[in-house]
Structures are given as C-alpha cells and as structure tokens.
Amino acid sequence: MLLDSDAENDVAYELCQIVGRAILPYRSSDATDQRFGTAFFFQGTDDPVGESLLTAADLVGGPGGELGLRASVTEPAGVAPEAVAEAEIRPGWARFPGDGVAVLPTGGLHRYAGDGGWRWRVQPVPAGIAAGPEVIARLGADAGSAFVLAHGVREDGSRPLEVAIERVVRDGDTVRITTELPPGYVGAPVFVVQADAAGDVSLYCLGLVLPGVGGHPVATFDRISAVLPATPGDD
C-alpha cells in the first residue's frame, strides 16, 4: 500500500512509540572492516523463552562485536554499561547465511543484565504483526510504502534511532527496498501497512534489511520463522 506523505509520517511516529525500544545499534570491532548495523528484539511467543534478537547474518560472527545501549532500554537509570560485548553473551549468535538471518536467544542477555544489577526495558516486535505468506503475496511490482527503524551512523559517530520512509516491491520470491539505505541500517526491521480482503488496514513487520547495492533485499518473516526458535546455525 502506497500512503500519502502525511499518513507515512503518522505511521513513522506510531512505530517509534510502539516498538522504538525494540531497536539496538550493532557494530563490529574489526578496524579493517568495521560494520555498523541494527538488531531488534522479537517476541515469538507469549513465553519469555520465545524472545530473540534478530539481525543480518553478514553483520555478526567475527570477533569483538557489540550491542549499543540507549538509556531508554534499561532500568534503573545509570547502571547499565554503554554497550554489551557479544563475547559476554552465551549462547551467542546462530547464523543462517542461506536465509541472511542471525538469531540470538535473549536468555544470555537477561542473565548478563541481572549479573550487572540492571534490567532490560524493551518493546519487542510481537509475533502478531510478523508478516505471513499472505501479506508477502500482496506485495507486487507497484511500489508500496515501507518504514525502516534503525540506528544510523552520524558523522560524529553517534547512533540515533531513525525512521527511513522508503519503497518496497516484490519480484517473484524477492522482496526489496528500492533505494540504498545509509550506514547502520542493515539488520533493521522493515514495516508496511496493508489492507486485507475485508478492507481492514493493519501494520506488519515484513522482516529485516539485508546488505545490497542500489537497494536492499529483505529477509521476510517466512524465512525468519523457519529458524525460530534458534537452532544451531554455523557459529
């Protein structure tokens, strides 16, 4: 669905309120090939065991990566560190390069926080808005509005939460963002608004941004769901 600019701005604002605290900045520490991206919390079931952190497989797997923390995603104030080194978290990332996805069960993140005397205060993307096959099938060659929540990379190195309003299309089994996104957006969740056969309009999370040139493939939730709950990947 292609929205007008006012409606797009309204959706972008609401997304920040609903799932803004699901989003974390990620960076690798490889000085020769430092990569910046975004990861997000996803709640696959009502059971806390079903919570995972998701990102793009190409971002993770090397030594020394870390997740940045905003003050709004932890409590009490002033206790959590500025970043969590992924080497401190066990189990670590399960990578599924064939699907482009990496999954981190969040049990280790919660244990790490508890050991440090703080708690996560996040808003996971809920399973109820994960796009099913029928949502993906309604995408086509005509561009629709897409919303990407990510931590970009500013010139001063800061990583603010941003919303990019873009266009998404589907060509066969491939779903793509039609323009190249700024640094820091790989791994970020992609949202759309669609009307069903009855005309009811709903918000959906299509999946996550994969690396690309001149545009970006999207790892859609039919692929992501196939590896949830996380099973051993190649890590």
Predicted local distance difference test score (pLDDT) of residue 44: 84
Contacts of 155 (CB under 8 A, 6+ apart): none
**pLDDT confidence of residue 30:** 67
- Written as tens digits, the pLDDT of the chain (235 aa) is 889 899 999 999 999 999 999 999 999 876 667 889 999 999 986 555 679 999 999 999 777 889 999 999 999 999 999 999 988 988 889 999 999 999 999 999 999 999 999 999 999 999 999 999 999 999 999 999 999 999 999 999 899 999 999 999 999 999 999 999 999 999 999 999 998 777 788 999 999 999 999 999 999 998 899 888 644 444 4
Residue 32: predicted pLDDT: 66
d(CA 109, CA 114): 9
Domains belonging to the chain, first-starting first, are 5-17+128-222 (2.40.10), 19-125 (2.40.10)
Contact between 52 and 40 (Cβ < 8 Å): no
The beta strands (E) that lie in the chain are given as 23-27, 36-43, 51-56, 66-68, 74-75, 83-85, 94-96, 101-105, 119-120, 125-126, 144-151, 161-171, 174-177, 189-195, 201-209, 216-220
Q: In this predicted model, what pLDDT tens digit does every residue of 222-232 receive, in sequence order?
A: 889 988 864 44
Handedness of CA 234, 113, 127, 171 (dihedral sign): negative
The torsion angles phi and psi of 231, rounded to 5 degrees, stand at -120, 165
